Amino acid sequence: MTMLDRMRRHRNWLKWSLALVCLAFVVFYIPDFLQNPAMDAATPTGAVAVVEGHEIPADEFQRTYTAQLAAYRSAYGAGMSDQLLKQLGVDQQVLMQLVDERAALAEAERLNISASDEEVRQRILKIPAFQENGQFIGEQRYQQLLGMQRPPLTAANFEASIRRAIIIDKLRTAVTDWLSITDKEIDQEYRRRNDKVKLALIAFRSDSFRPDVTASDEEIAAHFEAKKDDFKVPEKRKIKYVLIDAEDIKSKIQVTQADLERAYNDNFDQYTMPEQIRASHVLIKTEGKDEATAKAAAEDVLKQAKSGTDFAELAKKYSEDEGTKANGGDLDYFGRGRMVPEFDNAAFAMEAGQISDLVKTQYGFHVIKVTDKKGGTTRPLDEVKPQLTEQISRENAQLQVQATADRLEPLIKAPADLDTVAKANGLTAQETALFARDEPLMALGGAPEIAARAFQLKEGEVTGAVGTTRGVVFMTLTGRQDAYVPKLEEAKEKVKEAVVGQKARDLARQKATEVLAKVKTADDFEKAAKAAGFEARTTDLLTREGAIPDLGVAPDVTDVAFTLAQGAVSDVIATSSGAAIIKVVEKQEVGDTEMLANRDQFREELLNDRRGRFFSAYMGKAKEKMKIQLNRSEIQRILG
Nearest CA to 636 out of 469, 480, 507 is that of: 469
Nearest CA to 204 out of 595, 613, 630, 578 is that of: 578
Contact between 401 and 249 under an 8 Å Cβ cutoff? The reply is yes
> How far apart are alpha carbons 42 and 38 in whole angstroms?
10
Q: Helix H segments across 234-283? A: 246-251, 257-266
Return the pLDDT at 507: 95
Q: Is the pLDDT higher at 448 or at 236? A: 236
Contact between 551 and 575 under an 8 Å Cβ cutoff? The reply is yes
The least confident of 160-164, 234-238, 631-635 is: 631-635
Fold of 275-375: Chitinase A; domain 3 (3.10.50)
Nearest CA to 56 out of 15, 12, 17, 105 is that of: 105
For 196-233+488-588, the fitting CATH number among 3.10.50, 3.30.1490, 1.10.10, 3.40.50 is 3.10.50
Largest CA distance in the chain: 92
Which amino acid makes up residue 276? Q
Domains 3-179+610-639 and 236-264+381-481 share a fold: no
Q: Is the pLDDT higher at 379 or at 233? A: 233
Contact between 285 and 325 under an 8 Å Cβ cutoff? The reply is no
CATH match of 3-179+610-639 with 3.40.50.360: no
- Strand 537-538 and strand 196-205: the pairing is antiparallel
Residue 488 has pLDDT above 90, yes or no: yes
Contact between 583 and 199 under an 8 Å Cβ cutoff? The reply is yes
- E-strand spans in 381-453? 429-431, 435-436
Distance of CA 222 to the CA centre of its chain: 46
Q: How far is CA 508 from CA 74, 382, 548, in A?
A: 49, 61, 18
Residue 121 has pLDDT above 60, yes or no: yes
Q: Is the pLDDT higher at 402 or at 222? A: 222
CB neighbour list of residue 22: distance below 8 Å, 6 or more residues apart: 60, 64, 97, 98, 101, 161, 164
Question: How far apart are the two ends of the chain, measured CA to CA in Å?
Answer: 39
- Residue 457, classed as helix, strand or coil, is coil
Residue 186 has pLDDT above 80, yes or no: yes
Fold of 236-264+381-481: Chitinase A; domain 3 (3.10.50)
Q: What are the domain boundaries of the chain? A: 3-179+610-639, 196-233+488-588, 236-264+381-481, 275-375
Return the pLDDT at 263: 85
Give one word for 245, left, alpha or beta, with left for phi > 0 and alpha for psi -120 to 50: beta
> How far apart are alpha carbons 392 and 381 in whole angstroms?
14
Return the pLDDT at 217: 93
Average pLDDT over residues 387-396: 87
Average pLDDT over residues 164-180: 93
Average pLDDT over residues 516-531: 93
- Under the banding of pLDDT at 50, 70 and 90, the label for residue 303 is very high
Return the pLDDT at 83: 59
Contact between 13 and 129 under an 8 Å Cβ cutoff? The reply is yes
> How far apart are alpha carbons 261 and 266 in whole angstroms?
8
Q: What does the mean pLDDT of the chain come to?
A: 85
The least confident of 98-107, 249-258, 321-330, 564-573 is: 321-330
Average pLDDT over residues 51-78: 78
User: Radius of gyration over alpha carbons of the chain, in Å?
Assistant: 32
Contact between 65 and 91 under an 8 Å Cβ cutoff? The reply is yes
Nearest CA to 343 out of 397, 283, 274, 257 is that of: 283
Residue 196 has pLDDT above 50, yes or no: yes
The least confident of 212-226, 383-397, 441-455 is: 441-455
Average pLDDT over residues 603-610: 91
Return the pLDDT at 26: 35
